[in-house]
């Protein structure tokens, strides 16, 4: 099953849960991750469906379910044609860190992109404060569950994991800068949870 980002996967899971239906037996492939692996121009940003389709030359009506589904398929087909990587191989390839020579402070640390088979795939988590386990171990566990682990809070963040805060390091504030940013985004309507 191919979708662009985890939106369709999450929406399907929620709809099935609402009606008490079982999830279909399938493997999911995120065409946005395929696009990020394929070209440097969308490795760190610009990998939304509309942007990627513009790059591959596919015209479609955005936010129309059948059109979006076809567009996700076209992204995968174009990436396979350009790279010579078969669809089956992409299922493994998208789990590897993006290696394009670029970096961004908004991308997850290498190796923590979130495993597509994880139940929380599509969620983006950021940690702040001291955790009861090493931060690297927390990132590994989160990635196994499907979380993308990011360094900073952004519009893509869905979870902020808050550990113990050393008030001496908060420069006069009661909360970390990550938590303050998360609260700003929540006040502006972003669906973001603080744990």
pLDDT digits (tens, 9 = 90+) for 154-192: 888 999 999 887 766 666 777 888 888 999 999 998 889
> Could you tell me if 181 and 153 are in contact, meaning their C-beta atoms sit under 8 angstroms apart?
yes
9-48 tens-digit pLDDT: 888 888 998 999 998 898 899 998 899 888 777 877 778 8
Nearest CA-CA partner of 124 in 165, 152, 98, 85: 152
53-76 tens-digit pLDDT: 998 899 999 989 999 999 999 999
Q: Facing residues of 2 across strands?
A: 29
Nearest CA-CA partner of 112 in 129, 130, 98: 98
pLDDT at 48: 87
Q: What is the mean pLDDT of the chain?
A: 84
Nearest CA-CA partner of 155 in 110, 124, 118, 115: 124
Q: In this structure, are strands 29-30 and 2-3 parallel, antiparallel, or unpaired?
A: parallel
Q: How confident is the model at residue 101 (pLDDT cuts 50, 70, 90)?
A: very low
SS (H, E, C) the chain: CEECCCHHHHHHHHHHHHCCCCCCCCCCEEHHHHHHHHCHHHCCCCCCHHHHHHHHCCCCCCCCHHHHHHHHHHHHHHHHHHHCCCHHHHHHHCCCCCCCCCCCCCCCCCCCCCCCCCCCCCCEEEEECECCCCHHHHHHHHHHHCCEEECCCCCCCCEEEECECCHHHCCCCCCCHHHHHHHHHHHCCCCCEEC
Rounded to an integer, the average pLDDT of 122-132 is: 87
């Amino acid at each position: 099953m191919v979708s662009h980002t985890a939106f369709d996967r999450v929406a399907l899971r929620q709809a099935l849960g609402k009606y008490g239906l079982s999830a279909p037996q399938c493997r999911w492939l995120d065409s946005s991750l395929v696009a990020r692996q394929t070209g440097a121009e969308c490795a760190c940003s610009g990998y939304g469906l509309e942007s990627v389709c513009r790059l591959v030359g596919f015209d479609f009506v955005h936010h129309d379910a059948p059109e979006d589904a076809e567009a996700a398929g076209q992204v995968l087909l174009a990436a396979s044609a350009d790279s010579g990587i078969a669809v089956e191989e992409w299922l493994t390839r998208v789990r590897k860190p993006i290696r394009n020579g670029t970096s961004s402070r908004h991308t997850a640390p290498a190796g923590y992109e979130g495993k597509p088979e994880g139940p929380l795939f599509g969620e983006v988590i950021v940690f702040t404060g001291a955790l009861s386990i090493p931060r690297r171990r927390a990132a590994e566990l989160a990635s196994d569950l499907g979380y993308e682990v990011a360094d900073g809070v952004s519009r893509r963040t869905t979870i902020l994991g808050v550990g113990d805060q050393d008030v001496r390091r908060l420069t006069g504030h009661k909360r970390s800068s990550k938590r303050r940013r998360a609260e700003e985004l929540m006040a502006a309507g972003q669906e973001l949870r603080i744990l």
